Structure 1
Amino acid sequence: MESLDLQLVHALYVDGRASFRRIAAVLGVSEQTVARRYRRLRESGAVRVVGRLDPRYLGHAEEWVIRLRCAPSAALAVAQALARRPDTYWIRLASGGTEIVCHVQTSDQRARDTLLLDKLPATREVTSVEAHQVLRLFRGGVTGWHAPVASLSSGQVADLAPPAPQDPTLVDLDDGDRLLLRELARDGRMHHAALAASTGWHESTVRRRIAHLRARGALYFGVDFDEHLVGDFSHTALWISVEPAALDAAGTALARHPQTSYAAATTGPTNLMASVTCVGTDTLYEFITTGVGSLPGIQTVQSSPVLRIVKRAAALT
């Protein structure tokens, strides 16, 4: 991947809805160049910006990490079926293809119970189900990984960064919001005019509502990007047991490592779950032994190498 393309991807990680004009000014190229490069990356499937909701600001919304074990011949089909659900994201095949790690974000308790209590247990190919509710997010969402390789200077990042949420509070969504978010989940950079046509709102209303949801901390924009385009990266899911008194300190310290793309305190037999990205097995070994091993209160660590990512980011609709 060319340097300018990587800079553009990094810029989108910083603010997925930044205008081409603003990105071009920061990168020192023409607006037409940025637009052309983005269209090429988008059409090839290398980059996709999606609107996401932060469940912390949705009142009764919940986030779960589901860990399934399946017959090897059926794991991909089960993962693909889960990927078709609008409430799932970051679905991965791990541990030699016998394990599925799936994130679920939902505000519908009936749909959650149907999935966990009925559909998954009734699937013959699924041999075990562990459901870990997320209690505290240390890294992920809007605080997640902002580029597989740093390509912008700190000054450029500061110039592009959107304003911090001004008044993070719980948000009630109406039917118009859900229509808006459904479109942003498909294309986070969809033009305001197209969003207005989909929602029936005036274009100014669309602009105002997006700004309102972002200011409240409820809406942010994530990026699907295949990091293998820039290096031999591998993903690993970590399931860590930590002494309860040290859980907050361990989670906070783990989130500071650049290899960590996601870290959360959860319920279940382990109480700290993380997703890490490393280059090669030696780097992963060093990260587990020195990075994770030095965390306070560590008792056990399980690692599940990811073989395939079936679904990346998606928005709650």
Structure 2
Amino acid sequence: MGSTERLDHLDCQILMHLQRDGRSSYTALAALCGVSEGTVRKRMQRLEERGVVRIVGVTNPAKTGMDTVAVIWLRVERGRLSEVVSQINALPQPHYVAYTTGASDIVAIVTVESQEELVKFLARDLSSIEGLTETETSMLLRVYKQAYDWSPWPHQPPQFAAQEDSAVEALDEIDLQIIRYLQRDGRMTFVTIAEELGITESTVRRRVTSLLERNILKIAAVINPAQVGRTTLAMIGIKVDRQRLGDVARTLASMTDVRYLALSTGKYDLIIEVVQESNEKLLDFLVDTLEDIPGILRTDTHLLLKLSKESYDWGVAKGVCAAG
């Protein structure tokens, strides 16, 4: 999954504080870490340039009308894997694409606004890619857990409110433009956004505060797992005794190694993404942890060889925009 960069104590301190508040000011970070503001600025610049962390705005799909999510497993003709991955990456709907082992060559996650749009994507966009030999789609009925970091520290980054707090919210064009800027750079200053949009800084500040309080937007510190010593990633499909589904999901959600957990249709009941320090640690997780959970009937493990695309910009449904 890539080479590991050595991080010192100050690097780790900065990353931990950014996980708690991705927009924490340099002054606040300096005070928390006991160093100068200039030192924090230099360290953050280095961490970002090395690809250790990026701060991004992440929208809540349920609040923005983009609540149809699917995992697609794809098989490819021999010799055409890189070509097919490049074509999938170029499509706007897949926000996650990885090379994988197992029965599939590629796994992709797409987020769209409706099942109708998903059907169009599968029938029109995917079917036009030459070299694909087989696809299998699992719709995700509910995302139980989604963490945006891959850090070794025992801190859970911001997560969206519970399933019941998921009514679609109306957004106007200013909201959408602010979201787009923060999706590119979650630490972009309110002054810069205001200048770009031709509005006041106080308006931007008020709008962002509202988006955060309404659980429409989160500012997440996305940490590259390979850069913090977590070089083994896997997506695991799990078949569960239906009577124990809730208990199994709660148990998995409580595990720090499980960074993504969703209820799925198709051949799996649950799909999880796991990050580990090594293949040996992954084996320990499979044998010593998963096998001890009552209710799990079968697991299929897909080792993720390389993340080719990982975007947190999954758009906003057309009907969410309020009339201007």
Matched, 1:177 2:183: no
The alpha carbon displacement at 1:97 in A equals 10
How far apart, CA to CA, are the structure 2 residues paired with 1:145 and 1:50? 10
How far apart, CA to CA, are the structure 1 residues paired with 2:194 and 2:91? 25
**Residue number in structure 2 paired with 1:35:** 41
Deviation track 1:235-259 (CA, whole Å, cap 9, x = no partner) reads 0110111122222211111121121
Alignment match of 1:63 (pick from 54, 58, 69):
69
Deviation track 1:39-76 (CA, whole Å, cap 9, x = no partner) reads 12223333211111111323463222222222243233
The alpha carbon displacement at 1:261 in A equals 0.9
TM-score by length of 1: 0.86
Report the secondary structure of 2:62's partner residue: helix
Alignment match of 1:101 (pick from 89, 96, 107):
107
Change (3 A) 1:17 1:97: farther
What amino acid does structure 2 have at the position aligned with 1:254? L
Matched, 1:214 2:217: no
2:149–2:224 Cα contact (<8 Å) kept: no
2:143–2:261 Cα contact (<8 Å) kept: yes
How far apart, CA to CA, are the structure 2 residues paired with 1:84 and 1:185? 18
What amino acid does structure 2 have at the position aligned with 1:206? V
Across the aligned residues of Structure 1 and Structure 2, the Cα RMSD in angstroms comes to 2.7
The alpha carbon displacement at 1:232 in A equals 5.1
Is 223-232 or 187-196 further displaced after alignment? 223-232
Change (3 A) 1:233 1:177: same
TM-score by length of 2: 0.85
State the number of aligned residues.
307
- Structure with the larger helix share: 1
How far apart, CA to CA, are the structure 2 residues paired with 1:107 and 1:15? 29
**Residue number in structure 2 paired with 1:150:** 153
2:261–2:273 Cα contact (<8 Å) kept: yes
The alpha carbon displacement at 1:24 in A equals 2.0
**Where do 5+ consecutive residues of structure 1 fail to align?**
none
How far apart, CA to CA, are the structure 1 residues paired with 2:24 and 2:114? 32
**Residue number in structure 1 paired with 2:54:** 48
Residues 120-269 of structure 1: matches in 2 within 5 Å? 120-140=126-146, 144=147, 146-150=149-153, 168=165, 170=167, 171-231=169-229, 233-269=231-267
Report the secondary structure of 2:23's partner residue: coil
Deviation track 1:197-255 (CA, whole Å, cap 9, x = no partner) reads 33333221111111111111121123333222232520011011112222221111112
2:58–2:220 Cα contact (<8 Å) kept: yes
**Residue number in structure 2 paired with 1:10:** 16
The alpha carbon displacement at 1:109 in A equals 5.7
The alpha carbon displacement at 1:175 in A equals 2.2
Is 2-11 or 262-271 further displaced after alignment? 2-11
1:223–1:313 Cα contact (<8 Å) kept: no
Change (3 A) 1:138 1:186: same
Change (3 A) 1:284 1:216: same
What amino acid does structure 2 have at the position aligned with 1:58? T
**Residue number in structure 2 paired with 1:275:** 273
